[in-house]
Amino acid sequence: MKYFLVSGFFFLGYVYLSDLSGYRPQNHPESNTDTTLTLLFAGDIMQHKVQIDAAWDDSLQTYSYDSCFRFVAPIIRDNDVAVANFEFTLGGQPYTGYPQFSAPDQIVNALLYAGFDIVGTANNHSCDRGRKGIERTIHVLDSLGLKHIGTYMDSTARADLYPMIIHKNGINLALLNYTYGTNGIPVPAPCLVNLIDTLQIKTDLKRAQDSLPNKIIVFIHWGDEYHSYPNQYQQYFTRYCLNHGADIIIGMHPHVIQKIEKLHYPDSNGREVFVAYSLGNFVSNQRDRYRDGGLMVKLRLEKHHNIVSIADCGYYLSWVYVPDEKGKRRFYILPADQFIGSGGFTDSLSQQKMQQYMTDSRTLMQKESRGIEEFRFNIETNTWRKK
């Protein structure tokens, strides 16, 4: 079960965040007591029009997304804190896909049920429905209880709520979220979207450090679409964020996966850091090679004598299965290693495409990444393990 506290930087009334059962406050462990915290990060959650149409349930006469996340939900729920990129708005009807996304509110319930706790809303589609889209997205997320970071009603709300400070299992985290832009659409006043800006990031990271977190996480929207390698812009801002106090950087936007590095920065004598340049598509209607899947990254933080380290890390390959069922397309996010070679649920052509995605991903990760391994599914024990 996942229970933790989230607060704004100077917000004194902490907000309890829980899943489907009750919360019982506990004292933080003593500073010399071992404790762990697991984090899961997923990539781009998109809502193309065909996905919206697929979510309509004729029998219920409403939208339902639970089946989309049903196979990855056990992995997500198994973590203390789960975060994903919310790359659409809840701007209300008419529901539309690319290029200006607005999806049904019911997807929020599905994300909560799947186990997500926080979504990043700063991305290039934040302003797709203008001021109404930003404000309504915030209102719906707040009313349904899904925590969010990256877009704000106004400067006062940002000052109260940013950076997001998370208290869980005796470990304190600071979370920040930025985007390179908003597709040329001006941010409508008084709303704010966190844009990548060196001076602002420096100020925000200093503010985060003042809260004395054990780790600072930057959740960032950047890079070249459909490119499997980080560009110079990503590499520059990685160094910039690390130089100013970030410990963990999680990237998205290219819609394909890019390398992951767990290392000591700036050299072997430096501090421990973690960078995932792009987690790819968690779910979308992009069906081309390399774009039809993504990564879920898991970090296990361990606290001992008041020192928090990344004790372990790994990733799950996920792939989006889009069958036709009763004349209608459906979307299922599959933990790829669990479903590859399984008969009955997926057709042979989909098996081939999933295998191609897994081969491509493993080739890239084995060549470019360091300090991280893939979680593989053991069918005999029905468990996930790294080999």
**Residues near 276 by Cβ (< 8 Å), separated by ≥ 6?**
41, 249, 250, 251, 258, 260, 295, 297
Residue 387 lies inside a defined structural domain of this protein: no
Query: Across-strand partners of 7?
Result: 165
Residue 289 lies inside a defined structural domain of this protein: yes
Per the CB < 8 A criterion, the answer to whether 221 and 85 are in contact is yes
Residue 378 lies inside a defined structural domain of this protein: no
Task: Please report the pLDDT score of residue 19 as a whole number.
Answer: 34
Q: Up-side HSE of residue 18: CA atoms within 13 Å toward CB?
A: 8
What are the average pLDDT values for consecutive 10-residue runs of the chain, which has 387 residues? Answer: 56 34 36 82 98 94 96 98 98 97 98 98 98 98 98 98 97 98 98 98 98 97 98 98 98 98 96 98 97 98 95 98 91 96 84 97 97 95 91
Give residue 93's domain range. Answer: 3-335
pTM summary value: 0.92
Task: Please report the pLDDT score of residue 5 as a whole number.
Answer: 61
Residue 130 lies inside a defined structural domain of this protein: yes
Residue 128 lies inside a defined structural domain of this protein: yes
Q: Give the Cα-Cα-Cα angle 176, 179, 180 (nearest 5 degrees).
A: 140
Cα separation of 17 and 117, whole Å? 8
Residue 357 lies inside a defined structural domain of this protein: no
Residue 325 lies inside a defined structural domain of this protein: yes
Task: Please report the pLDDT score of residue 139 as a whole number.
Answer: 98
Q: Up-side HSE of residue 63: CA atoms within 13 Å toward CB?
A: 20
Report the CATH number that the domain containing residue 166 is assigned in CATH: 3.60.21.10
Task: Please report the pLDDT score of residue 327 as a whole number.
Answer: 84
**Residues near 59 by Cβ (< 8 Å), separated by ≥ 6?**
none
Number of compact structural domains in the chain: 1
Residue 126 lies inside a defined structural domain of this protein: yes
Cα separation of 48 and 173, whole Å? 33
